[in-house]
Amino acid sequence: MDSKPSAEPLSGGRKPPTPVKIVIAGGYGVGKTTAVASISEIPPLRTEAAITAVGAEVDRPGHTPGKTTTTVALDFGCITIDEDVKLYLFGTPGQDRFGFMWHDLVVGALGALVIVDTRRLDDCYPAVDYFEKAGVPFVVAVNKFDGMLNHDLNDVRWALAVSDEVPLVTFDARVKLSVRDALLAVLRNTFDRARSRAGA
Amino acid sequence: MTGPADDRDVTLLRPYLMTSGRSAPVDHTIEIEAQVITSARGLAEHPMLSFERRDIVSLCRTTMSVAEIAAMLKIHIGVARVLVADLAQLGYVVIRRPDTQTPQDLAMIERVIRGLEAIR
C-alpha cells in the first residue's frame, strides 16, 4: 500500500492566485525601481537574469556586432488585486538589445510602461522598438524628476517617433498614486486594444 | 546494471550539476511570475532533499513566484526555473502558471483595473 503523502498543495485545496504582470522598462536610473517601490506591497526584490544581447543592429562607435550574454538585474514587486489575482511589476533595464529573456518577460504581460527621462530620451528607444515589434501594448511615461518637463509632450512624441495611438503620460515615480495612475493608463490602453481587436 | 556503461557515454557532456545530473529539462519555460506552492508530500519529504531543492520546498509553504524564489535564495532565475520544474514533476510543489492569453482577456483586464483603482 502506497502511503506517500499527497501531491496536493498545502493551501487546503485552494488554488494559488493567478499571476498577471506589467513590464516596466527604461534606461538605467530613470526611476523603474523607484516606481516599483512606490506601489509594491513588498520591498522590491532583485534577481539576476541572463540576457542574450544581439548587437548587430546597433550602430555604435566602438561597438562590436555580435552576441554576448550578460547578466542584468531584474527588480520586481507585487500588488494583490483580489484574493485570486496577483499583479507583478517587473522593472528591467531597457537600453541594451533584448534577447530571449525579454521574450520570457513580455509573454502574457498585460502591457508595458516605458519610463522616459527627457534629458536622456534615447535610452528608451530600444524598449519602444522592442514593444512595437513584439506587439506588446505600451504607454510612455515621462518621469517628472524635478516637477517640470524639459520638453513639451508633443516634442517627446515626435522625438520617440511613436504613433498617436501610443498614450503618453507624465508621472512621478516617487508618488504611489501617480504610479498607480500610470499603470492604469497601461491597462486601459491594453483594454482598448483588446476590445477593438475583439470587435474587428 | 547498465550504470557504468552509461557513465562512460556521458564523459563529454557534463550534466548541469545543480539539476542532479538530469540533462534534459522537464520544462524550463515556466514563467517567472508562475506561482509555486509546496505540496503535502514536499513538506513531508523535503528534509531528504539537498540544498536549493530543500530550500525551495521549505520556502514555498507560502505561495510565491519563481522570481521571488530566485531573489530570496539568491540563485539565478534560470536555475530557479529548472529546479521548480523538477520539483513539480516529483510532486513536491504545485505550480499555477499564468494564462498567456491574458492581454486579450477583457474581464481579467477590468478586474486588475478595479483592483488598482482601489489603491489609495
> What are the mean pLDDT values of chain A's consecutive 10-residue runs (200 residues total)?
73 83 90 94 84 47 51 87 95 61 83 91 86 93 74 85 92 96 98 88
Query: Quick one: pLDDT at residue A190?
Result: 97
Look at residues A120, A119, A138 and name the one whose alpha carbon lies nearest to residue A129: A138
Residues of chain B contacting A76 with CB distance shorter than 8 Å:
67, 71
User: Are residues A10 and B115, on separate chains, in Cβ contact within 8 Å?
Assistant: no
C-alpha A29/C-alpha A34 separation (Å) is 9
C-alpha B39/C-alpha A7 separation (Å) is 5
Tell me if B7 is assigned to some domain: no
Query: Quick one: pLDDT at residue A48?
Result: 77
Tell me if B14 is assigned to some domain: no
C-alpha cell at B113: 483595473
Tell me if B9 is assigned to some domain: no
Query: Quick one: pLDDT at residue B101?
Result: 85
B70 to chain A, closest Cα gap in Å: 6
- Residue A180 has its nearest CB partner, among B40, B80, B119, at B119
Query: Quick one: pLDDT at residue A64?
Result: 46
ipTM: 0.85
Q: In chain A, whose CA is at the least distance from the CA of B74?
A: A47
Query: Quick one: pLDDT at residue A147?
Result: 60
Per-residue pLDDT at B62 exceeds 90: yes
Query: Quick one: pLDDT at residue B10?
Result: 41
Tell me if B80 is assigned to some domain: yes
Residues of chain A contacting B68 with CB distance shorter than 8 Å:
45
> What's the whole-model pTM score?
0.83
Put simply, whether A133 touches B (Cβ < 8 Å) is: no
Put simply, whether A68 touches B (Cβ < 8 Å) is: no
Query: Quick one: pLDDT at residue A52?
Result: 54
C-alpha cell at A178: 501617480
Average pLDDT for B34-60: 93
Residues of chain B contacting A104 with CB distance shorter than 8 Å:
29, 31-32
pLDDT band at B56 (very low <50, low <70, confident <90, very high): very high
Residues of chain A contacting B99 with CB distance shorter than 8 Å:
18, 108
Q: In chain A, whose CA is at the least distance from the CA of B102?
A: A108
For chain B, the domain total comes to: 1
Put simply, whether A188 touches B (Cβ < 8 Å) is: yes
Bigger pLDDT: A120 vs B42: B42
Report how many Cβ contacts below 8 Å link chain A to chain B: 165
Query: Quick one: pLDDT at residue B7?
Result: 44
Tell me if B64 is assigned to some domain: yes
Q: Map grid coordinates 524598449 to a residue.
A: A127
Output the CA–CA distances (angstroms, integers) from residue B16 to B21, B49, B63, in the order listed: 6, 17, 27
Which residue(s) pair with A192 in the sheet?
A: none
Per-residue pLDDT at B19 exceeds 90: no
C-alpha cell at A27: 534606461
Tell me if B84 is assigned to some domain: yes
Bigger pLDDT: B101 vs B34: B34
- Residue B112 has its nearest CB partner, among A110, A194, A198, at A110
CB burial of residue A176 (10 Å; 0-12, 13-18, 19+)? middle
Cβ atoms of B60 and B66 closer than 8 Å: no
Query: Quick one: pLDDT at residue A195?
Result: 93
Question: Which range of residues forms the domain containing residue B81?
Answer: 25-119
Tell me if B48 is assigned to some domain: yes
C-alpha A63/C-alpha A127 separation (Å) is 19
Tell me if B98 is assigned to some domain: yes
